[in-house]
Amino acid sequence: MSQADRQSNNVDITQGKSASASVFESAEKHFDDAAKVLKLTMNQIATVKKPRRSVIVNLPVRMDDGTIHVFEGFRVLHNKARGPGKGGIRFHPDVSLDEVQTLAFWMTFKCAVVGIPMGGAKGGVICDPGKMSDRELENLTRRYVAELFEVLGPDVDIPAPDVGTNARVMGWIMDTYSMQVHRHTPSVVTGKAIELEGSAGRDGATGRGLLYCVRRWAGYPAKQLHGLTVAVQGFGNVGSWSARLLSEDGCRIMGLSDISGAYVSKDSGIDIGAAQEYAKKHKSLDGFERSGNVTKLKHPKEILEMEVDVLVPAALENQITHQNAGKVKARLVAEGANGPTTYDADRLLAERGITVIPDILCNAGGVSVSYLETVQNRMGYYWNEERVNYDLEEIMNRAFDTVRDTATKYEITMRKAAYVVGIQRVVTSSEFRGLYA
């Protein structure tokens, strides 16, 4: 397998183990560190660490050429102490049970950090949506819901979009579930189109939550973001919204990257509107250097080492590793992606005095607005975007302040503090519930 193939297959070539295995190890180590700060007992750890349910399904789907292909899919409910499971569904060739379990684990503590009454869950199907027709994707999605019908539901486990899935897929989920229960049930899934009782503001919510975190870090509104320089890795939902909103707030976006490469500004910053238009038209930033305002870096990962104030990794896991953490020059790493920094790299960044706003806080805007979507679905009454953004800002600011105060209290990093806050809340809810026997 070539290096390019290994990278595209999401294999961590720096450590010779699969990316999903190493993110799981990182997540466990962070959990154990926080458990020590909280002095948790073995009983408490046992109650909240392991997933409560992992389901594997084989999904026979009729393809356009008449053949039947059997896809492997997963749904993991990590914890339900604080509410029904909540978490996206990933359609990607590299999905594995390990990866889905790690993502579900993060969802539990992410929901707890932002204080929403939901547990942690995640799903995935091993498939390549880019190579499937709409009909094949619809058949796969409906079969996934039919096979997992008993473990999904508004009071059980509520899916949402993730890498490879979108509002269209969420619509098929809502329709399949509603047909099965013979009842209109929009609250079974979030991230739906506005026309299908989705929430205003959901599309940009993760980037907006990240913006609120960066503002809080910078002491906003006392200190404006005006003039801060930023580099963003990944230009999908999270990366493009983060870049756009930070730029609207006065930041200068000096570098952008996606799967096609990394592009850096030749002058005072990249025009994000132009980059978005280009990416929409060409389906990626490939060739964007010909627009005149930017040059393309020879090594795309060098975007992580740019001389900027704020670095936003918003693409994949395991991007900042022990190999490049020493070269990061940003003062702040605002994690848009899940698990972009390995455990060892996180320690190196801390030693170098670089602040990291960790994923389970920094990218929690998406799940927060998913929660607001569920609330609206249950009421059957819909807010405008201004109202949704207002609530999101309240949620993010409160969570940021709690994590920052916890970091100060225990003299620990924001990452460790976020785990401390999340784990403490899940443990407390579990203890109030007690064990059903």
Catalytic residue numbers?
122
79-to-116, 190, 369 alpha-carbon distances in Å: 14, 19, 20
Instruction: State the burial class of residue 428 (Cβ atoms within 10 Å of its Cβ: 0-12, 13-18, 19+).
Output: middle
Cβ distance to ligand NAD smaller for residue 200 or 315: 315
Tell me the closest approach of the beta carbon of residue 380 to ligand NAD, in angstroms.
24
Residue with tokens 């801060």: 228
Q: What whole-number distance in Å separates Cα of residue 156 and Cα of residue 162?
A: 19
Residue with tokens 């359609």: 91
Residue 84 CB partners (closer than 8 Å, separation 6+): 118, 119, 153, 154, 155, 156, 157, 158
Quickly list DSSP for 350-386: HHTT-EEE-HHHHTTHHHHHHHHHHHHHHHT----HH
Residue nearest to ligand NAD (CB): 236
Tell me the closest approach of the beta carbon of residue 399 to ligand NAD, in angstroms.
14
Tell me the closest approach of the beta carbon of residue 235 to ligand NAD, in angstroms.
4
Cβ distance to ligand NAD smaller for residue 201 or 427: 201
Residue with tokens 């999905």: 95
Cβ distance to ligand NAD smaller for residue 22 or 237: 237
Cβ distance to ligand NAD smaller for residue 166 or 224: 166
Cβ distance to ligand NAD smaller for residue 172 or 235: 235
Cβ distance to ligand NAD smaller for residue 22 or 233: 233
Residue 296 β-bridge partners: 263
Q: Which residues bind ligand NAD (CB under 6 A)?
A: 162-163, 206, 233-239, 257-259, 300, 314-316, 336-338, 363, 366
377-to-11, 53, 194, 394, 395 alpha-carbon distances in Å: 39, 26, 11, 20, 19
Tell me the closest approach of the beta carbon of residue 431 to ligand NAD, in angstroms.
29
CA 318 to chain centre: 14
Are residues 263 and 295 in contact, defined by beta-carbon separation less than 8 angstroms? yes
Quickly list DSSP for 160-210: EE-TT--HHHHHHHHHHHHHHHTS--GGG-SS--GGGT--TT-TTHHHHHH
What does the DSSP 8-state code read for residue 341? B
Tell me the closest approach of the beta carbon of residue 184 to ligand NAD, in angstroms.
25
CA 336 to chain centre: 7
Expressed in percent and rounded to 5, the helix, strand and coil fractions of the chain are 50, 20, 30
Q: What whole-number distance in Å separates Cα of residue 80 and Cα of residue 153?
A: 13
Tell me the closest approach of the beta carbon of residue 161 to ligand NAD, in angstroms.
7
Cβ distance to ligand NAD smaller for residue 318 or 402: 318
